[in-house]
Amino acid sequence: MSASGGTKAIVAALAANLAIAAAKFVAFLFSGSSSMLAESVHSLADSGNQGLLLLGGKKAKREATPQHPFGYGRERYIYAFLVSIVLFSVGGMFAIYEGYEKIKHPHDIEHWYWPVGVLVFAIIAEGFSFRTAIKESNHTRGKQSWKDFVRHAKAPELPVVLLEDLGALVGLVLALGGVGIALATGDGVWDGIGTLCIGILLIVIAIVLAVETKSLLLGEAAGIEAVHKIEAAIVDGDTVTGIIHMRTLHLGPEELLVAAKIAVEHDDTAAEVASAINAAESRIREAVPIARVIYLEPDIFNESEAVKGADPEATPGGPAPTAEH
């Protein structure tokens, strides 16, 4: 995913959420609806989240330093993880608390046209933001399902915005349903139930985001397609005859580390091996441009060692372990 595509979706979501938060809070002041209060806090939390994503993207662009030689690309993962914490605590837990209080102490909704009008406006604005996130995601999603895109995307911004916008739209529908039923029945408990459902929804989304961004923080390998391209680029069939084992690691969404032990012939000269390594690095970068840091170690493939197993530490000349993707 291009950084510009993610930024465009974040800015669209930020603009929509700021306008919606203001409208919801005004509706709460006039109507006393707890759903409106929970939704206004939800929109404020989302606005803060988009600010965190923009900040993380800016910090990730800093140049590498001696203390951080691989750069700051993972800043984007850290701030995406913070977003999930904010969504859980500020958004979800606050909504559950408000829902509980409204169910325990219900009161009638005043000036019903304020919450209903604001919710309709908010659905339209969130729909615009959601449409922008979908459009930007489709540029890189390819043939992946939406579930796989969220699970396997290496750039966290679009999955975060997608889930936030989806949660906001569903939450708005729940709030509209709670307010509508409360108005129809004259029972304010339904407004509290709608608020409670919003809180549960936000917590579920926050947990999904936390799990996915935690995986990125721990360090994920390149996708299957990228791994296959790298493997094909390394072997030239002449000096480099095979790959003994290989590791890849995302240093950031758009920066990949590649480390591999490659098989060369025992009678190749040092000059020939060095030239072959340089050529292999060029082919890797051409095949997978985000492969910025590459370490290739030459070795002699040893068949007798290879039969001992796939552990690259136990068998220096053995085969690569089976990768799980």
Convert the pLDDT of each residue in 82-115 to its tens digit. 888 887 777 788 888 888 888 888 877 777 788 8
Give residue 239's pLDDT.
Answer: 86
Q: What is the CA angle 194-199-200, rounded to 5?
A: 100
Alpha-carbon gap, residue 172 to 127, rounded angstroms: 11
CB 159 within 8 A of CB 76: no
Residue 238 pLDDT: 82
CA distance 174 to 35: 9
Task: Please count the other Cβ atoms lying within 10 Å of the Cβ belonging to residue 148.
Answer: 12
Dig out the tokens for 101 from the structure: 């209080």
Look at residue 186 in the predicted model and tell me its pLDDT: 84
90: CB partners within 8 A, 6+ apart: 41, 44, 45, 48
Pairing of strands 255-264, 291-299: parallel
- Residues of the chain short of pLDDT 70, as ranges, are 1-6, 302-325
Pure H helices in 60-156: 75-86, 94-104, 113-141, 146-152
Give the pLDDT confidence score for residue 324 in this predicted structure.
Answer: 46
Closest CA to 202 of 122, 49, 77, 84: 84
Contact 26, 118 (CB under 8 A): yes
Look at residue 278 in the predicted model and tell me its pLDDT: 93
For residue 306, the 8-state DSSP code is H
Q: Cα dihedral sign for 50, 135, 141, 260?
A: negative
Classify 25 as helix, strand or coil: helix
What does the pLDDT read at residue 2?
Answer: 46
Lookup: tokens for 67 = 């203390």
Long-range contact set of residues 213-216: C-beta below 8 Å, sequence gap at least 24: 213/77, 213/80, 213/81, 213/83, 213/84, 213/156, 213/160, 214/81, 216/74, 216/77, 216/80, 216/154, 216/156, 216/250
Strands, sheet with 240-252, edge to edge from the N-terminal-most edge strand: 240-252, 255-264, 291-299
**Residue of 214, 83, 254 lying closest to 161 (CA atoms):** 83
